[in-house]
Amino acid sequence: MNISLIGASGFVGTRLMDLLRSKGHELLNIDKQQSPFFPDLTTIANVLDKQKMLELLKDTELVILLAAEHRDDVSPASLYYDVNVTGMQHVLEAMEHNGIKRLVFFSSVAIYGLNKRNPDESFAADPFNHYGKSKWQAEQKLQNWYKEHPDWNINIVRPTVIFGERNRGNVYNLLQQISQGRFLMVGKGLNVKSMAYVGNVVAFVDYLIDTNKEAYQVYNYIDKPDFDMNKLLALVGKVLGKRMSKVHYPYFLGMLGGLGFDLLSWLTGRKFSISSVRVRKFCATTQYDASRMLASGFKAPYTLEEGLSRTLEFEFVHPRTDDITFKSE
């Protein structure tokens, strides 16, 4: 197929392009940044440039939309809605203009909010931050669009936090702190953390392209079974051959520390890896239901333990030959 990916120069997009190219698809990556691995397949353009979208999506059979503002510290906050919502509208109009009726959209479990009890795809949206709110607004736009375009095929993937080789997000920061002996366990460590290995996420998208060719479908993506923080810590220690500390610090002390860094950031204008928002997210239970994905017939190529082990070995055990990394949350 002729597939256009929008915003695929980053972590997930790079892995997805590598997989889709190996399957023989003709690819175009439309991104405001150059791809470090696929410059020959990348055209520089911004999703906010509607005219460019109209031009570049010509002769495309399927669009995969990954472009998003997603970091915790985007400023001004209006950028979340400009890119994630208005950008979606531009893509839909460009698809309609070019007669394209198949879309895979990367949303997020952030639409459910914090500390929800294992929400499935029918769970009421309750996002707590601008990223989650803007993603939910983008989904609502898609819902309304599909009502007027029932012959389209729209697949929405709501992944939980994605980790893997070369990623520089919250999971990597956690693994790095543990590997360097700088990790402090806040709380009892019983809070569950749903996660997704990038190799499995892109394999699921490939599966949807091959099998889900009709209608409007929404899927949470989580690698099961989930780990709590204690089990995650034990696995990291096992792979790295390190003895893990069993000291646990009360939640209120962690929040005080996070608020202290918030104040320091406000006074200095600098951004720090620790904040009250990140402490809150770390201590929250983030467990999501993946029954619909599991019932789809998809078989993940890696277990969660294998994905974590591969990441740890790539980042902290075996030397690497380059310094290409991708920043995310």
What is the set of active-site residues?
131
Identify the residue whose tokens are 């893997």.
Answer: 164
User: Edge-to-edge strand order for the sheet containing 62-65?
Assistant: 42-44, 26-31, 2-6, 62-65, 102-106, 153-159, 216-221
Strands (DSSP E) along 130-222, which ranges?
Answer: 153-159, 161-163, 167-168, 185-186, 192-197, 216-221
- Residue pair 30/95 in contact by the 8 Å Cβ criterion: no
- Residue pair 247/185 in contact by the 8 Å Cβ criterion: yes
Please choose, from the candidates 151, 165, 158, the residue with its C-alpha nearest in 3D space to the C-alpha of residue 136: 158
Nearest-angstrom CA–CA distance, 16 and 164: 13
Virtual CA dihedral for 159, 70, 93, 5, nearest 10 degrees? -60
Strands (DSSP E) along the chain, which ranges?
Answer: 2-6, 26-31, 42-44, 62-65, 102-106, 153-159, 161-163, 167-168, 185-186, 192-197, 216-221, 223-228, 248-249, 326-327
